[in-house]
Amino acid sequence: MLLFATLALAACHVVKSDTPQAETATYGAGDNWPNPGGDWAGSHYSRLTDINAQNVAKLGLAWQYDLGTDRVQEATPVVLDGVMYTSGNLGRVYALDAASGKPLWTFTPSVDGQTNRYACCDQANRGVQVHKGKVFVAALDGVLYALDAKTGTVAWKVDTVADHTRAYTSTGAPTIAGNLVIIGNAGAEDDTRGYVTAYDVDSGKQAWRFWTVPHDPKAGPQESAALDAAVKTWAPNSSWDIGGGGTAWDAIVYDPRFDQVIVGVGNGTPYPQSARSPGGGDNLYLECLVALDRKSGKLKWYFQETPRDQSDYDAVQPIVLADMDVGGAKRPVLLHTPKNGFFFVIDRQTGKPLAANPIVRTSWADKWDLKTGKPHLTPEGSDYTNGPKVVFPATPGARNWYPAAYDPKRNTYFAHVLDMGNLLFLAGPPQTKRDPKFLNAGAAVIFSPDLQAAAPGLPPPIREAMEKTAQWQWVKDKPFSSELRAIDPMTGKTKWAVPAAGWQDRFGTLATASGLVFHGTVTGQIFARDADTGKALWHADTGTSVMAAPMTYRVGGVQYVAVQAGWGGGGWGFTPGYSAAYQRGNANRLLVFKIGGGPVPVPPPLPALEPAPPPPQLAGVTPATIAQGQMLFTANCSICHSNQARAGAPDLRRMAQPVHDQFDAIVLKGLLTPQGMPHWEDRLSPDQVKAIHAYLIGLQGPLHDKETALKAAGKPLDSQSLTILSSY
């Protein structure tokens, strides 16, 4: 379908850990930052205090490193014994001297550019793990590499994709659990069936695999007893062929206290339950946290955060482990803020919720029953089967992959939070048939920072139905808020908040024992804030969009703060005009700061836009052909090509004549596949490609005329699109 957008089953028991990662009382990272989350708990918290409120204003650039790409940076670096290891897009790996930035080695995986077609959210990679002399990274195509930490040579590699007829990719960081390395896969919007896999760190041999959703019972026994129980929560006539979704694309942590691997599970596919599982059911283990025995991979407990979800509410956002006072007793807990808008505090031993409070407006549920472990669903709910619904939170989520930080001294959770709704509806009959290796979400979604502003562009029946929904007043009262918040985990209450630049300004955080919170912005700023008040104590303008979480480490007695800079990820083709990427380009780089460092080199502004080139003649093309081209472009191309002048992918209203001449060769034959533009010969016929081309030519002509007139009048050109067309 089309997406339009405008801006417990198993007994729990405690196991004594015999792994080399035995839990310690030490919370937070020290001189080293040994994994992307910083410590065993994934807290993004540092015990270092050399940089503090008294001297943070003296921070300056220690060194920078050009990552050599311009696509997306989401990783948090790892530092061990003076060496920094990190990943870039596609699964590139960099090893650098952590004090000077001197490159030691780099690794570039061999990834077929066709894989880009199966990545919903860009070529992202969220980090590496380093263990026993090896650096582990998962490339976009799902190949897991173990690299020699000294040389970068491949020690072993394994293909983690279970079925190459489906659209699997990998974007998350691996997780080390004793002698195992754990990795999941992405692709829940496509035609996948989720799973997570454990491999031996020494050999790469598969140890176990846990499937997150059942297969068609007619195909034979399920792979585990956990799935035997889960299949009872799906309708017998579910759309098994599509796969069900439930991919584990991030949020996998190892809990050494209970020797368990905790996995966040993604959304279901298709989105509407009427298509995915007609007749209802909780659809386990979609949107669940599942705790798996490290040695066997068997289910210990689960907690479902969004039963019967229809709104893309992944439970794959970063998990933080902690020991907290709950009811006067110290409890081992996990802190989790998934897309669905609630803040959960979960007992790590039992999987029982200890607190569940909304942190944004939530139209699908208004509270949680801690005794039953179930949400109280609202009467209007989020079921858009019988007509459009405005649903809060929006599909980008109240929280997403951007890491949060937890300061145990202050009992405060620092995170970006987005409070926004979107419109969901069926654009046709419920999708029940698989569309191979393609988006199978089966719903139309309109998300916007201001649905009122978007309304005039909608078909009248859709607009009128939207304005009659129960949440339309919410839209009118407050279109959205995008904030960095300091939150009390047990109550969900905000201690302080500072606004972000816009709804696409989302970022990760770092907290330190010296009472500082660091974060970047897509406008290109780096901030250090007072952890108690949110007051900005230092900032630097980098001129490069920052989404990834900063980290800190110490080498030779000097504390450094580092962050990777570069725009991309979900919605990467729709670059906000206020972003540094839109204004100054998107050269990806590592930025490392220290007390007494120098200024940050800021890239120059991009040159002024020039008028779109004149298009070729459009002759003998009927209005029906152009309409067909528009439909095909929206369904297949617009998720990347937003037709903004300065976006992640080229503005196809600005094609030069040589590109027009080779249009068929590019789209059908894969002329630019090595550069990341996949071919579409298996999906589009030559006549369909000609219709798409005609539609684009029809857009380019009026744009050329308009911009030529603006330039002649001495007026600036700004073709930033306010309307995004994507295909889900």
- Tell me which residues are annotated as active site: 312
Distance between CA atoms of 254 and 179, rounded to whole angstroms? 12
Bridging pattern class, strands 558-565 and 589-595: antiparallel
Which residue has tokens 């040994």? Answer: 34
Distance between CA atoms of 120 and 98, rounded to whole angstroms? 33
> What is the edge-to-edge ordering of all strands in the sheet holding 260-264?
252-255, 260-264, 288-293, 299-304
Of 68, 65, 49, 74, the C-alpha closest to 101 is 65
Bridging pattern class, strands 143-148 and 134-138: antiparallel
| DSSP H helices in 262-311 | 273-276
Distance between CA atoms of 424 and 451, rounded to whole angstroms? 12
Residues 6 or more apart whose CB falls under 8 angstroms from that of 148 comprise 133, 134, 135, 154, 155
Distance between CA atoms of 494 and 412, rounded to whole angstroms? 9
Structure tokens, 58: 């003296």
Phi, psi of 304 (to 5 degrees): -90, 120
Distance between CA atoms of 494 and 617, rounded to whole angstroms? 58
DSSP tag of 190: T
Query: What's the per-residue H, E or C state across 515-575?
Result: CEEEEECCCCEEEEEECCCCCEEEEEECCCCCCCCCEEEEECCEEEEEEEECCCCCCCCCC
Q: Count CB neighbours of 709 within 10 A.
A: 11
The one-letter amino acid code at 510 reads L
Distance between CA atoms of 46 and 564, rounded to whole angstroms? 18
Contact yes or no for 34/44 (Cβ under 8 A): no
SS3 content of the chain, % helix, strand, coil (to 5): 15, 30, 55
CA angle 539, 547, 582 (to 5 degrees): 85
